[in-house]
Amino acid sequence: MTAEQETSSCEERVIMYREALNEALREEMERDSTVFLMGEGIAQRGGSYKVTVGLLDAFGPRRVIDTPISEASFTSCGVGAAATGMRPVVEILFIDFTSLAIDQIVNQAAKYRFMTGGRGRVPMVLRTQGGSGNGLAAQHSQSLEAWYYHVPGLKVVMPATAYDAKGLLKSAIRDDDPVIFIEHKLLYMSKGHVPAEGYTIPFGQADVKRTGKDVTLVAWSGMVPRALAAAESLAAEGIDVEVVDPRTLVPLDKETILASVRKTEHVVIVQEAVRRGGVASDICSIIQEEAFDYLNAPIRVLAGKNTPIPFNLNLERLCVPQEQDIIQAVKQVRYVQ
């Protein structure tokens, strides 16, 4: 096979989001013996979403550790291990359950470097998944990224594609600060192009998932596929939408967002989380402060309803933005008088 054929083969390789995460974990565990995994059901079962399948056989029970159902205790173990030189990847099945370990995450991991004058570090990745879908009801369907976005000392990563998932997870494991790595439950089975060779994606580097000239649509995680679908539908009606995916909320690549806003002069920001106190509102304030003179219409924030997520699938869909909601929001901004 020629070098050109090899490159083409890499570009054409399509795998699932969960497989991309598995590859990232495997590659980093092979590269660095201080990397190990902890979580509920991640060893023999391979995790509830099958992200850790095969890793127990490859690395053994000292590096792929099944924990008790006690988020506070094993997150504490992860923080301690990280502070003493290891690189743990701690998995909490639902982001809802990170509330049980909030002291360890917010008061210990996030503040350790600062409180040691920069001498200490907590290179821990907390993998978890958020968002609604599949009728998992109010205690298993929240979008809580704003909690961790608010806390100095934490980095917040939310990949929307298989390519981004692999590259960002590898970067997260190598990072010397605690990283909240949030995966969306509806993305695990999605597929995308992922090179076979290892690669990383730098934090703080947004990705323009679709270029356009009429409206900037900022979206992340599970809202990105819906934003792209909405953009394709709108293109058929003559509205050219640019879709910007921040990929990492902390650090936030505001320059890419602002550059898009200055080009299109119309903005819609869509998040699955409830609007009140959300990340979208903060991004809105950044645009308002730094690109106000370029706006030809008010910024539109489209977000989840201020309600717990219902169990009923029809009600669940009503509570978070759908493709048609995004289409309507873009039209409202584009055609404002």
Task: Locate 70 and state its tokens.
Answer: 């006690």
Is 184 in the active site?
Answer: no
Residue with tokens 């010397």: 176
| Catalytic residue of the set 27, 71, 272, 316 | 71
Report the alpha-carbon distance of residue 38 to residue 114 in Å, rounded: 26
Task: Locate 10 and state its tokens.
Answer: 């890499």
| CB neighbour list of residue 6: distance below 8 Å, 6 or more residues apart | none
Residue 149 has a CB neighbour count (10 Å cut-off) of 20
Kindly give the pairing relationship between strand 35-39 and strand 179-184.
unpaired
Residue 189 has a CB neighbour count (10 Å cut-off) of 12
Per this entry, what is the length of the chain? 337
Is 140 in the active site?
Answer: yes
Task: Locate 299 and state its tokens.
Answer: 């910024």
251 upstream amide cis, omega within 30 of 0: yes
Distances (CA, A) of 241 to 6, 144, 236, 258: 34, 27, 11, 15
| Catalytic residue of the set 28, 91, 140, 316 | 140
Q: Catalogue the active-site residues.
A: 71, 140
